[in-house]
Amino acid sequence: MVQAQTLRSILDEVKSLEPLPQVALRVMALAGEEDLVPRDLVEVIQTDAGLTAKILKLTNSAYYGFRREIVTLFEAGNLLGTAKLINLALTTCSARYFRRYGGQSEEAARRTWERSVTTAIAAGLFASTRGGVERSRAYTAGLLENVGHVVMARFLPEAQARLDAAIAGGATRLQAEQSVLGIHHGEIGALLAERWDFPPLLVDAIRHHHQPDRAQVDALLVSYAHLGELITQQMDERDGRCEPPYELSSPALVAVGMTRADFDAFEDALRAEVERARELVELA
């Protein structure tokens, strides 16, 4: 009965949770168009003054290294191209959401956000290295795959003790979520993504990012999203930031043609890229 009540509560909150800013949803919709050009994105982004200012600030950061100051969004779009402009817009909008709507402490919310950006960077790097999926698409999947955690942090803080007890009793993290809540965070995130009219490709990636072999739309994309999170988790563990781990999916490694040694060796490249992208990680 407790589990059923918890599940109903989660579903009710998913229905009532305020969505990402409309500009983010419009950018996401445009991202699926084959003939998209920077001007199309700029016309949407410039309707949000705060978002425009953030993108200009990031465009002028050391991460992109342009030799002259970029003063208009049209300049930024032409120099960055559609893929990078989409990533910047979604990252900026998601930062507001992840940092504002969690029920965690400020520090915990910051860590959730940092992990999301690091996962996005990692998923994009995996895709650019192994191929088969556009880097920007993998980045977006990695950025948003754990949106279900925002729901859990905001509405289910009292469940954490029961989750910890289940894990201490030998359950994996996913098994603990399923047994305590009746649903795991990937499914919660997918329900939220459906509610917000995310593209089916992204809904599928959010739902199955811990079980890529169950993906229904693009198993390779989901594998990159999964590996992005797991290499981020491994990096956190080495840095002494330990949480109950999720398990690495062997089918994901097979799907992208990597060995476990290849996966482990990827960490150095990720650390270097995250350091270069510090402005994104520190985005508030």
Q: Is the pLDDT of residue 100 over 80?
A: no
What is the arithmetic mean of pLDDT over 179-191? 89
Share of the chain above pLDDT 70, in %: 89
For 144, phi then psi, to 5°, come to -110, 0
Q: What is the pLDDT of residues 119-158, one digit of tens each?
A: 999 999 999 999 999 998 999 999 999 988 887 877 677 7
Handedness of CA 190, 101, 91, 271 (dihedral sign): negative
Structural domains for the chain = 2-19+104-281 (1.10.3210.10)
pLDDT of residue 161: 82
H/E element, 177: helix 173-181
- Look at residue 209 and give its three-state secondary structure: coil
Whose CA is closest to 19, among 124, 101, 106?
101
Share of the chain above pLDDT 90, in %: 38
* Rounded-to-integer distance, Cα 93 and Cα 114, Å: 14
What is the arithmetic mean of pLDDT over 14-24? 75
Q: What is the pLDDT of residues 230-243, one digit of tens each?
A: 999 999 888 767 66
